[in-house]
Each structure stands twice: as structure tokens, then as C-alpha cells.
Structure 1
Amino acid sequence: MELMLPSRFYLALLMLLLTCACIQIPELGPGASPDAGSVDARPVLLNWTSPAANSITNGTLRIQVEVTGPEPDRVELLVDGAAVETLESPYALDWETWRFAEGAHVLVVRALRNEQVFLSAERNVVVDRTLPRQIGQTPVNGASEVPIQTPIQVTFSESLNPATVNGQSVQLMTDTGPLAAEVLLSADGRTLTLSPASPLPVNARVRVVMANTVVDLAGNRLEALSQDWAWFVPAYLQWGEPQFVGRFEESSIGDTSLRVGMDALPIVGWAQDGSVHVKRWNGEGWEYLGGPMKSGATPAAWGNSLQVNADGRPMVAWLEYSSVLSQSQVHVRGWNGSAWAPMGTVMTTSLAQSGIPWMGFTSRAQALPVVAWHEENASQAQVVFRQWDGSNWVAKAAPLPMKRGATINYLGFDLDASERPVVSFRQFESSTGDVGRVMQWNGTSWTEISTGLGLLPVTRVMGRDGSVLVGGTALVNGAWTGLVRKWDGGAWVTVGEPLAGIAGGTSRTVDAIAQDSQGALIVLVTEAPSATQTGSRIGQTRRWTGTQWESLGEVLKPGPGKVLWGLPDFALAGDDEPLVSWNEKVDPAETYMSAIHVYRLNH
């Protein structure tokens, strides 16, 4: 017999069984696998492995991400929001950036799974295929007037990779080899500075050489033209621009005249195109003093000589020939602060029907200026002296007789400690050749002190001890060399040894001589560069120490494609720095294309 239980019983039993047999199902972590048939709602996590944040590239860039969580259906690289590549497991690829424009791009990796989208963090990348180039240089490439102390610095169009900039990849060089220098790259990587361990050599081409291992942050090598830049460091620097008037192509200039004013700044004069020109350095450039000078529209001025009076104001003397009067004339003017004022009346020759081949002008700080000129006619020749007494030109000494018909060169004079003229010159005759002569006015007559001179004079100066010092050239051991000799009142004695050659040239001589503030002699020694370059000169200043001639700086040379010619002038600035004015011509030296250059030591 079948026992029938009520339905209430079955329901209670079922509830009891469910309560006793409850199953605990654990949560699934990101790496766990759900049971078959269930839906996996875990996120797909994307973490960048490469590239690094804020990367810069110029070519192929490695893209790689680490994927965790459920396996995605597809992984894509998005560039600026657009899908460009698919990443296959292990989710890496080499992204060819050449297909994309230069500049900043935003990279994102996107994973797709079961219609769900998962994104990585953004990664900024710059594509840069432009070669870095120099956009600023000190000194500029090709500069020829570079001071020794000029900073050496270059700025680039973009930052360089500092790991590639060092003393091996960037070098300071001359034609003879490398120069020790510290290489410094600025914090932003755009400015490179080289600090030489010692002053730059002069009369040398200096350059900075950068290896092709120097690259920017993207790995781009320097632009080819930016890997090398060079400049020239001369022994002397030009004081301002070369001086001439009109067109340089038609500029023909003779000798130059140089003095230093009471303000220790130079004044330079020259004759050109029939007029005399004087300019003064104003601290920033050369300025005209009063403009070109001559006595009228027709006469042509030539020759010039500058002096500075006791008040520190410049004076200038020059020669003219008046065709109307058929006479040579000497003109002298003084600067009154605003214009050139004539100093007395025009002076002319004492000898009838004579010409003036030479004129000189000198002044001691404590003395009134003196003008002298060489005049000659068919039967007589002499040197005449006139001194300014404040209103007129009066005789300073009796005329110095000169030998008629002889060739007179390098004629010049100065005033001794007693303010009496001392004259030196070379006298050439076919029967005797060149002879050096020195004449001294003793107050009543001229005395010759040439015996034992032993050189051919070019220049002279009066010593503070009353001595006469003459510089020039002498034949020593079969070669012409520079020499300075001193008249001590009874004999000529050599000041030190003959001045050695400058740079292996020929025809050496002392072209200028002066005394510094301490009374030491400073000379300008010159020579022809070689036996085949006699149309040009090079020079060097030297100081007498009391025991030897020491060089002040290196050799003064003409600029590239130029020659120095004619007789230079020489003066000392307020700090006893030597200044030189010299006429520089285009090489080969033609009639035209010349200019006056004022030089100072490059130190």
C-alpha cells in the first residue's frame, strides 16, 4: 500500500535540503579563468613598455605594451585618435614614423573584447627629421678681426643630445693641431660654449670642429654646413673701419699721419684727391674734424703731418702747389674745437723758383710747434725751419744746407731737450752710395754728428737725458737688419743687439721709434715678407728693457689679398699701448684701391 504524504511536507523537505547544501562561489581575479559558458567581465589592462614618455624620434619607434586580464580580440595603435597599426602578441611593433608629419603626436593603444573597448594612457611622441643647424655664432664664420678674448659660442636651432657633446666630439683647432678647451652645453641643450685653457694664438686661423656623432634629441646629425666654422685671430686689430674717401675702387692714398690726443684717443690724417683729411676716434667710430681741407678750388694738397699742441688740440700741416703763383706753399691749421683755423699766413720758399719735395711738423708738449721743409732750385738746396710764436711763423734756426743734386730720403727732424732741431736723412750719390747723416743745431750753427753712425736713418727721437736716438737699417753680417743707435754727446753706441728678423723676411729696418711714459724705447721693426714680396711689409713692436729687445705682441700683417706699403706712422696711447697707422693696398699693389688702417695690439 502506497503511503501518500501531503504536499506541505515535500515543500518543507526541499527547503531544508537547500539550506544544508549551499555552494560558495569565489570572485574571479584579473588572471583567473571563469567556468566554461560564463561571461568574463574583467577589464583588459594596457601598460606601456615602450616608448618612454615624451620620446623624440626621427625614424622607426618601438611600440610595446604589457596586456593583463582577459585576452583581447584585437589590439591597435592609435595616433592622434586614428588607428594606424595592429599589435599582435606579444603586442609590439616597429612604428615607421616617416609616413607621419613632423611634430608632436599623441599615442594610445586600444584593446577590443566582446564589444568592449579598453584604452591605455596617452603617450606623447615628437617626430623630428629636421637636421639641427647653427643659427648664431660668436665669432661669426669667416670673421677676420677677432679679439683674443672673444667668447666662443654657438646657438643651435634645437636642443642637442648632451650625451653626444664632449671634448672628443667638439674640438677647438688651428692649422697646427687642437687647442685645449672646456666644452659646455647649456641646460636647454641649444647653446654650446668653448672656453680655451689659454689665450687664442694670433695670426692663426681658429676653428671649431664638430664630429658627425653630435646629434639632436631625435638622433639627427648636424647639418653639414654647421659642423665646421672658422675665423682669423690677427696680432693687431683694426681700430674702427679703414679710412678713405669716395669709392674704394678709385681710392689712391699716400703716407699717413697718426697722433694721440689728450683724451688718449687716436687722430689720423692723410691726403687724398687733392685734399687733406683728419678724423678723430670718438669712442665708437671715426668722425671728421671739419671735413676735407685745401686752400681753394684749384690747388691740390698733398703730404700731411699731424701734431698735438700743449692744450691737446690737433694741428695739421700740408703742402700745396699754386699754379697761379707758380710756387710751393706750406699750410698749417689748428683745431679750435669746432673748426680748422689758419695758423698765420701761408709759408712759401725762401729760394727763388724752388719747389718743396718734403715738409715736416713737430712739437714738444712744452714747446711751440715747428715746421720745416726741404726746398730746392736749379742751383741750391736747403732745409728751412719756422716756429710758431703764437701769431706768426718765425725763423727757428739758420737754413740747413743740403747738397744740390743728391737724392735725399727719409728726411725728418725733432727737437732736442734744448728745443733745438736735430735732422736725420739719407743722402745718395752715385759716387758714394747711400750715406746716413745727422745734423744738430747748436744755437748758432749746424754741427754734423754723423761720424760713426753706422746705419741708414729712417726715424729719430730725442731721449729725456738729452741724447739723440736714431733708428734705421744697417748691414750686419751681409744682411740688412734693424738697428737703433744713441748719440751720447761724443760717440754713437748701439742700443742692444741688432733687432732680429720678424718672420724670416728681408730688408729689415726700424721704421718708427718712441718713448713710453717711463722713458723706455719702443720701436716698430718692419721687413719685406720675402725676397719675392718686396712690395709689401710686415711689422712688430718691441720694447727695450735695458738689457734686450722684447716683443710686444706678434707680427702685424696685411689682411688677406692686401699689402702694407709706404712708411707707417706710430704713436703710443695713454696706457703706452702702441698704435700704428699704415696704408693697405689691394694685392698686387696697383695705383688705386688703398685705405688707411689704424691698428692696435690684440691682447
Structure 2
Amino acid sequence: MTVDRTGPTVSSSSPNAFETLFSETATLRVTFSEPIRLKSAEAPMASIQVDYQEWSSRMTLSDDRLSLSTTMIQPYLLPSEGSASMSCEDITDLAGNPAQFNPYPGPRIHWSWRVPSFKSEPAFSFERTPGVREGASVAGRPALAVESGGALVVAVADSHGMTERNETDGARIVVGRLEGNVWAVLGAPFAAPGAREEATVSRPQLALGSDGHPVVAFLQRDSASAGAALHVFQWRPPAWMPLGARLNLAEDAAPYDVALAMDSEGRPVVAWSASDGVRVRRWTEGQWLALGDIQRVGTGPGSTVSTDAPALSVDGSGGIFVAWAEAESADVLAGLHVRHWNGAGWTALGERLLHDRYFPDRYRVTQPALATLPDGRPVAVWGEMHGSEYHDGMVVARWSGSAWNLEVATSWEEGLDGEKRRWPTVAVDGHGRVLTTFIGGRSSSSLYANWYPRELHRKERVRDYSGAVPTSLALDAAGHPVIAVSKGGSLSIYRPNQ
């Protein structure tokens, strides 16, 4: 006969992690290795602290006698921290053996947890070969969109298999879709038809068509010495199909970077920057049609169009906004220029934009982004840089209908060294509230988000990073931010922990 002299041990407890899901904060629970018996008529009390609230709560024994649990007060705003403890003096197994525990600081069970404002989604992985899932080798900035049903769609330049890698170029474009906790790849990795094995792709942009199918714009180089060609593909299940031929002619100035949007009728609109200006095309009745002439301000030998991507947004009534950074002469650094397509031509919205406009030879605009308010007015954001030394701040500009209202959305501590990029993004929710993300931090870099949890504006640190990382922003159906970040070849996605 075997005599049981081993008491029950704790097999699991929750919440009890540094990154706890908000849904896990509703219940305090401990589960034992075997059914337990309570010496007292009542279950033990748990002492709980969540942020600055402290209270005691009676635990309840489960029907199978394996768990003790109680309901907790959930935090109103995140991030939040919590802790709890419970005496186990009156807990034994059914044979009367006392529960095992760490004797210091007494016969108690302890919990501790932290609930961040943003939670991580599952890492992007897919089957390169049947039955073997691997993570994407992301080069450069990921592109992100959210379907009306909540599924996430990302497009990345995947550098898997490349012998020589850099920060921007991949071997093929890969598009993934996350529904629930499962990633699926849409079609095979792709490049333009007839692409050589050594061809590289970069700078993907992503938008969802009126049918919900993704459209991707990207740059492709067929060799290290070749100029970039701009291509646009549309997902037509079960394959990716090109929308026309390359957009830029071989004799045109090579594209620096590209922007993509859908107009109010669901037609793709593409803009790209080059040394001679910014071009805008719209897919209309099976062909790419130019919207006006090449856009630029300066015409003299000292004028320079920024190598940053232009920015696009639509006004909801057929109009299109485009913005780009340009130094109009050798006497100034780049300012921001915004123009509106009204169906017949381009109209400038105000003059050049620069927050520190009294020092146009010291400050310059970098990485502009655009969004549109519900009433059709544009919002522009950009990083403002002091020469090439440091990023002074991120600027948010709202068009009133006749003038721009500018504000700096960063603090001094959120400045950034010049060799890093700020990666500003902007979106507007259904209430007309402006949401932004950016990289900042003088001593160490962090990803920040300006958003509205529980209808309150907050600027929060989403994650810390060792360097400035490429980011993209989209909004879900509730107007909450979804953020994609590429770092060291991997892709991370964060969304509110609610």
C-alpha cells in the first residue's frame, strides 16, 4: 500500500505575467496539482492591489476542487500593474497533506502582473515549404491595412534567400493576412512578370479596393545598376495580377519612393517622387492616367525634391491630396508642399509648410504623411529636422479651409539623432480625431502613439527599441490604432490591449 505524503503544489496562476492581456485581469485564479480541501468553512481571502486600489476578496473553490478564484476590479486605463497574495495555511489535499509553498515570507501564494496598453499579435510566419512555417525576412517599412471585418493585411519586401542583404531591398513581395491568431499568405511571393532571379523589390505600399481585395504598389530593380521601376498589383484570387505595365517610363527620372491610396470610387491612385518632381496617376478604365503635370515648386538648378516618399489622401468626393518635401532653391532646406486635385487641376493649399519657418536654412521637412478629416480637410504630419544633426520634433498641421494650423506633437525628450528616422504616421478616426505614431528618444528610441483610449487623449510609449524602426499605422473598425513594426528582419504588430 502506498501512503500519499506529498501536498498539492501550484500548477498555474493568473494573471501572473509581465505582458498580461486585459481580458485576463477580470479573474484572479490559482490551480493546484490535485484536488484540495479547506480546513475552514470558508475559502481564504486574497489581498489584491491594482494600481492604487487595494481590497480583499473571498476566493471560491471550483466544483472539481482544483482551483480557487475571485473576480477582480479591472483597470480603467492602461498600462496597469497589479499584485495579490493569499494564505495557504488552511489548504491541504484530500489526504490532509498541507499545500507546498515557499516558506518566505510565510505560507502564502503570490501573484504579480503588468498590463501594457498595447498587446502583440502573433508573429508573421508562413509555409515556404509544405508543413514548415517560417517568419518573413522583412526589409524596410511594412505596409498595413485592416479589413472591415477586422482581419489584418500586411505587405512586405521579403529578403529570404538573398546572399547580400540591406535595410530596404527584398527578393519578392509577400502579402499576409491575419484572422484571429492565424496567418495565411495570399498567393505566392511575387515580382513583376519576367523578373530575373537577382531582381530586388522595395518600399511596398498597400490599400484595400472597394471589393476588399488588396492592391500593392512597389519598386523593382532588375539588377544592382538598373533604375527602379514602379509596379502595381491587385489580388484576384487565387493569384496576384499586374495592373498595367510599369508606371514610370525607362527614360523618366528613377522613382525615389511611392505612395498609394484608393479614391472615393475605389480606384487606385499612385504618386511617386523623383529628381524632377512628383507624378500622380490613377487607374481608370483599365489604364493609368496622369493627374495633371509633374508637381514641383522650384525650377532653378538649386532646387531639390526630397528622396522621401510623397504622401497621398483622398477627400471623399473625388478629390485627391498630395504632399511632398522640396527645397525650392539652394538658399533653403526642404519645406512641405500640399496640393489638391479638384478634378480639373492641382491647387496649392497655402504656402510651403515648416514649423520653424524663420530658419528655412536650418530646418527641413522629412517623411511627410497625410490623412483626411470627415469633412474633407487634410491633416499633414512630418518630422522636422535641424540640418542633419537631429530631429527636432514631429509636426501636425490641420487645414482650416484657408490656412494651416501647426503644432508640435513631441517633447524635447522625444527628439532623435539625425542618423535615425522618425517614421511619422497619421490616421483619422470616425469622430475626426487625429491619431499619430512616431519614433523618439534622445538616449534610447521608443515607439509612441497619440490616440484616444476610452475617449481620452493619451500619448503613450508602445515599445522601446534600440534604434529607429520602420512603422506603419492603420485603424480598425472601432477607430483604434494598429501598428506594424519591422526590426531586424522580423515583423511585429501591436494593437490596443482591450
Using the size of structure 2 for normalisation, the TM-score is 0.76
Residue type of the partner of 2:284?
Answer: D
1:491 corresponds to which of 381, 388, 403 = 403
Structure 2 residue 100 is the aligned partner of structure 1 residue 222: yes
Unaligned runs of 5+ in 2: 160-170, 357-364, 386-390
Matches within 5 A, 1:24-63: none
Contact 1:471 1:484 in 2 (8 A): yes
Q: 1:440 to 1:343 in 2, by over 3 A?
A: same
How far apart, CA to CA, are the structure 1 residues paired with 2:237 and 2:332?
50
Q: 1:564 to 1:178 in 2, by over 3 A?
A: farther
How far apart, CA to CA, are the structure 2 residues paired with 1:254 and 1:205?
34
Query: Alpha-carbon deviation of 1:527?
Result: 4.7
Structure 1 segments of 4 or more deviating over 6 A?
Answer: 244-250
Q: For 1:331, what is the secondary structure of its paired residue?
A: strand
Partner of 2:442: 531
RMSD of the TM alignment (CA)?
3.9
Q: For 1:394, what is the secondary structure of its paired residue?
A: strand
Query: Alpha-carbon deviation of 1:138?
Result: 3.8
How far apart, CA to CA, are the structure 2 residues paired with 1:540 and 1:410?
21
2:372 corresponds to which of 455, 462, 474 = 462
Matches within 5 A, 1:139-538: 139=15, 142=17, 144-150=19-25, 151-158=27-34, 159-161=36-38, 163=40, 166-167=44-45, 170-173=46-49, 179-180=54-55, 182-186=57-61, 189-199=65-75, 202-204=78-80, 206-211=82-87, 213=89, 215-216=91-92, 218=96, 220-224=98-102, 227-243=109-125, 251-273=137-159, 274-295=171-192, 296=195, 297-323=197-223, 326-349=226-249, 351-352=251-252, 354-376=253-275, 381-401=276-296, 405=304, 407-409=306-308, 411-417=310-316, 419-427=318-326, 431-441=331-341, 443-445=344-346, 447=348, 449-451=350-352, 454=355, 456=365, 458-472=368-382, 480-494=392-406, 499=409, 505-506=414-415, 511-518=424-431, 520-528=432-440, 530-533=441-444, 536-538=445-447
Q: For 1:574, what is the secondary structure of its paired residue?
A: coil
Of stretches 212-221 and 387-396 in structure 1, the one that deviates more from structure 2 is 212-221
Contact 1:510 1:524 in 2 (8 A): no
How far apart, CA to CA, are the structure 1 residues paired with 2:381 and 2:280?
23
How far apart, CA to CA, are the structure 2 residues paired with 1:261 and 1:283?
13
Query: Alpha-carbon deviation of 1:434?
Result: 4.8
Residue type of the partner of 2:21?
Answer: V
How far apart, CA to CA, are the structure 2 residues paired with 1:162 and 1:505?
57
How far apart, CA to CA, are the structure 2 residues paired with 1:362 and 1:454?
27
Residue type of the partner of 1:532?
Answer: S
Q: For 1:327, what is the secondary structure of its paired residue?
A: coil
Contact 1:511 1:523 in 2 (8 A): no
Query: Alpha-carbon deviation of 1:280?
Result: 1.4
Q: 1:398 to 1:464 in 2, by over 3 A?
A: farther
How far apart, CA to CA, are the structure 2 residues paired with 1:410 and 1:537?
23
Q: For 1:426, what is the secondary structure of its paired residue?
A: strand
Contact 2:273 2:305 in 1 (8 A): no
Query: Alpha-carbon deviation of 1:350?
Result: 6.2
Contact 1:459 1:511 in 2 (8 A): yes
Q: Percent identity?
A: 19
1:526-549 deviations in whole A, cap 9, x for unaligned?
352x4211xx3222232599xxx9
Partner of 1:93: none
Query: Alpha-carbon deviation of 1:594?
Result: 3.4
Residue type of the partner of 1:147?
Answer: F
Q: 1:200 to 1:471 in 2, by over 3 A?
A: same
Contact 1:408 1:427 in 2 (8 A): no
1:341-369 deviations in whole A, cap 9, x for unaligned?
111112234644x3222011111242411
How far apart, CA to CA, are the structure 2 residues paired with 1:458 and 1:544?
25
How far apart, CA to CA, are the structure 2 residues paired with 1:244 and 1:431?
51
Contact 1:374 1:383 in 2 (8 A): yes
Unaligned runs of 5+ in 1: 1-79, 81-100, 104-127, 586-592
How far apart, CA to CA, are the structure 2 residues paired with 1:298 and 1:461?
36
How far apart, CA to CA, are the structure 1 residues paired with 2:476 and 2:205?
18
How far apart, CA to CA, are the structure 1 residues paired with 2:144 and 2:135?
24
Q: For 1:409, what is the secondary structure of its paired residue?
A: coil
How far apart, CA to CA, are the structure 1 residues paired with 2:88 and 2:139?
49
Partner of 1:540: 449
